[in-house]
């Protein structure tokens, strides 16, 4: 039976992030992908100036109401960039209305990166974001979002013990599994997860590519969501997400140098060139579980 996810995040019309990444990637993983756009922007906010921003806060409850009448069922709910603080309550209500016992809820608490908030966000957004992290099964912050959620300083340096402590504190917010992305360890780059049910930590790494590219967090969270819904364990899911995200970064490096140096990172990663790898990773999940 085809599995179905709904992803709740913005549409950035240009710039390959959020819904325009989640839709193709999760679909390629063999999972139907419904969308609820939280806002429509002409581009993402990570570099471009002068972008348009249409807030869709009042549309979301109406979409949810219609879907409730249709009795739609979702195997996964995956949330990302929200368009307003009020949307955290609306999304929390959506979880309550659509969660069945077999639904997996993945929250990417999108708020910032590199120790800085994204344009339009204030630190108090974190208190609101905690509300939906509490109701999630899996949360996927980067180090900046972890520091906002836990109200600790952004860690410029850290060791594995620090990350393990942050992860357990993140699960204390109420979710079962926390994954911190963008972890550096020498020449490696990856993610560490903690599952409070098993009490275990899991890690996945690939080589660090010293280039800045926008939208990689959304690639990671989308692939993680698709893998979990296809039945991967959290260990398999972070391995696939780290591998695929790194594949897309490597595929983009050459073309990056054909664009002006300052704007190139804004154009996102060339995940389109790596779809065959994604399909192969998904086939690996079925083999592992049969
Ligand atoms: O990639 C996260 C993201 C999603 N959506 C919008 C953004 C960003 C990050 O800058 O601006 C609109």
- The string of pLDDT tens digits covering residues 185-214 is 999 999 999 999 999 999 999 999 999 899
Say yes or no: CB of residue 46 within 6 Å of ligand 1.
Answer: yes
Are β-strands 116-117 and 112-113 bridged in parallel, bridged antiparallel, or unpaired? antiparallel
Residue 39 in contact with ligand 1 by CB distance below 6 A: no
Average pLDDT over residues 165-182: 98
Looking at the CA of residue 12, tell me the nearest atom of ligand 1. 12
User: DSSP assignment, residue 265?
Assistant: G
CA 26 to chain centre: 12
Instruction: Return the pLDDT at 176.
Output: 98
Q: Which of 58, 47, 52 is nearest to 11 (CA)?
A: 52
Is residue 217 in contact with ligand 1, taking CB distance under 6 Å?
Answer: yes
pLDDT at 104: 98
91 CB neighbour count, 10 Å cutoff: 25
Q: Considering only CA atoms, which residue is closest to atom 7 of ligand 1?
A: 44
Is the shortest distance between the CB of 284 and ligand 1 below 6 Å?
no
Q: What pLDDT is recorded for position 287?
A: 64
Q: What is the pLDDT, as a whole number, of residue 78?
A: 99
CB 39 within 8 A of CB 53: yes
Cβ–ligand 1 distance for 110 under 6 Å, the answer yes
Ligand 1 contact, 227 CB (< 6 A): no
Q: Whose CA is nearest to atom 8 of ligand 1?
A: 44
Residue 5's pLDDT is: 98
Give the residue carrying structure tokens 């913005």: 10
Question: pLDDT class for 290, splitting at 50, 70, 90?
Answer: very low
Poorest-confidence range of 24-28, 218-222, 250-254? 250-254
Protein residue with its CA nearest to atom 12 in ligand 1 = 44
């Amino acid at each position: 039976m085809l599995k179905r996810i709904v992803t709740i995040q913005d549409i950035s019309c240009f710039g390959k992030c959020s819904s325009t990444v989640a839709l193709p990637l999760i679909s390629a993983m063999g999972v139907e992908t419904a969308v609820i756009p939280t806002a429509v922007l002409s581009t993402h906010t990570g570099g471009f100036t002068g972008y348009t921003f249409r807030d869709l806060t009042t549309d979301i409850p109406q979409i949810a109401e219609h879907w409730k009448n249709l009795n739609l069922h979702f195997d996964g709910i995956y949330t990302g960039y929200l368009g307003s603080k009020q949307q955290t309550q609306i999304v929390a209500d959506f979880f309550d209305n659509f969660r069945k016992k077999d639904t997996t809820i993945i929250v990417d608490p999108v708020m910032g990166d590199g120790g800085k908030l994204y344009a339009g966000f204030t630190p108090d957004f974190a208190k609101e974001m905690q509300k939906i992290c509490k109701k999630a099964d899996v949360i996927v912050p980067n180090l900046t979002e972890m520091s906002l959620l836990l109200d600790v300083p952004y860690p410029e340096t850290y060791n594995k013990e620090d990350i393990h402590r942050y992860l357990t504190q993140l699960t204390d917010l109420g979710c079962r599994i926390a994954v911190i992305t963008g972890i550096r360890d020498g020449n490696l780059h990856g993610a560490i997860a903690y599952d409070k049910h098993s009490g275990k930590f899991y890690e996945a790494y690939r080589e660090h590519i010293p280039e800045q590219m926008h939208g990689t967090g959304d690639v990671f969270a989308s692939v993680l969501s698709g893998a979990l819904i296809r039945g991967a364990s959290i260990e398999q899911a972070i391995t696939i997400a780290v591998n695929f995200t790194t594949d897309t970064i490597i595929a983009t490096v050459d073309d990056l140098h054909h664009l002006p140096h300052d704007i190139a990172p804004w154009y996102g990663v060339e995940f389109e060139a790596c779809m065959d790898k994604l399909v192969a990773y998904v086939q690996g999940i079925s083999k592992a579980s049969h």
